[in-house]
Amino acid sequence: MSYNDTFIKACKKQEVDTLPVWYMRQAGRYDPAYRKIKEKYSLLEICQQPELAAEVTLLPVHKVGVDAAILYSDIMNPVASIGIDFDIVKNIGPVIHNPIKSSADVERLRPIQVEKDLSHIIKTIEILVGELQVPLITFAGAPFTIASYLIEGKPSKSYIRTKELMYNEPAVWFKLMDKLGDMVITYLKAHIAAGAKAVQLFDSWVGALSPKDFQYYVLPTITRIFAELKHLEQPKVYFPGVSSGELLPHLQQVAADVIGLDWRVSIAEGRQRLGSRFAVQGNMDPYILTAPMSVIKEQAKVIIDQGIKEPGYIFNFGHGLFPEASIDKLHELTEFVHSYSTAAIAASKQGSGV
């Protein structure tokens, strides 16, 4: 089996014959095999076992036929190395036992030590690079999203404590952003050194900010992270999370290669807001998988037709897969995207005389 580099080509806005497909949270609870593993081990326990984490990472590649694997991990993993004590609690998410409440709490955060504290993550990457015939994407949580957990102490809908610190103690906020930015840069560089073929920065909750606040309180750190990674050839993806359409115009100077879009903005509109600078990824609503296949395919057609109008498009959802999703529908959707996009791209080339 030859190596499938369609995802990498799309990230670099190169010509492809078929659209690449992968899904956020594709190694997850919708898969019965994964649910069986979770009966024995917690998320963090799986991450601590490189062979098992690699096995879970590979499941959707074999079962769904996606064109990229994404490392089975969690955005919270690196914060253990900087001095944060946390658990992933079922039906809640990250719960922080020593949340950040003051300047002193930020000061005590230490630099990340990947080799000492996160060697299991690196080992998982190395195993996967040796086994995969598609690119491996690894990832980190972006500073705002990580900060929201560290400050709130658990997932939040209002982010009141996070914004309270941001507005009332900006010096402390920026110190925290600097430390988390350093953590992300070191962590992702270690991933790439271990063989990762692309990296993604997940900023799942930054859409909670106004464009003005994003631009002032968060964007400088995002810009610095990608500037530090710019010299590395591996594609860099920034996903500004849900409800982030209004933030897109502010990303035009970020040195990423790909921007992930949620389903609240069309591919065409997203490209326009981004100044057509980037490849784009997304943006089907994952809950479309509750619909009949005929409806799923009609919506996919609309997205694909917009996606292929310019080079640089990767089919994905606008956020992560949900536990009740049908693995059979997911497999059928992947096959449909491949077949429909292949025909559409070929017709487009023929129509343009290429």
Please name each of the domains of the chain with its CATH number: 6-351 (3.20.20.210)
Helix intervals (H) in 157-292: 160-168, 170-194, 211-213, 219-229, 267-273
Q: How many CA atoms within 13 Å lie on the side-chain side of 354?
A: 9
Helix intervals (H) in 78-169: 103-107, 114-117, 119-131, 143-152, 160-168
Stretch 167-174: mean pLDDT: 98
Stretch 321-338: mean pLDDT: 97
Stretch 8-22: mean pLDDT: 98
Q: Centre a 10 Å sphere on the Cβ of residue 168 and count the other Cβ atoms it contains.
A: 9
Amino acid 351: pLDDT: 73
Give binding residues for substrate as ranges: 25-29, 74, 149, 204, 319
Contact (CB, 8 A) for 314 and 7: yes
Contact (CB, 8 A) for 316 and 282: yes
Q: Is pLDDT of 283 > 80?
A: yes
Confidence of residue 350 (pLDDT cuts 50, 70, 90): confident
Q: pLDDT tens for residues 92-101? A: 999 999 999 9
Rounded Cα–Cα distance for residues 4 and 181 (Å): 32
Give binding residues as ranges: 25-29, 74, 149, 204, 319
Q: Is pLDDT of 83 > 80?
A: yes
Stretch 56-67: mean pLDDT: 98
Token couple for 193: 């050194």
Confidence of residue 15 (pLDDT cuts 50, 70, 90): very high
Q: Is pLDDT of 1 > 90?
A: no
Rounded Cα–Cα distance for residues 81 and 127 (Å): 22
Stretch 263-268: mean pLDDT: 97
Amino acid 144: pLDDT: 98
Rounded Cα–Cα distance for residues 163 and 148 (Å): 9
pTM of the model: 0.97
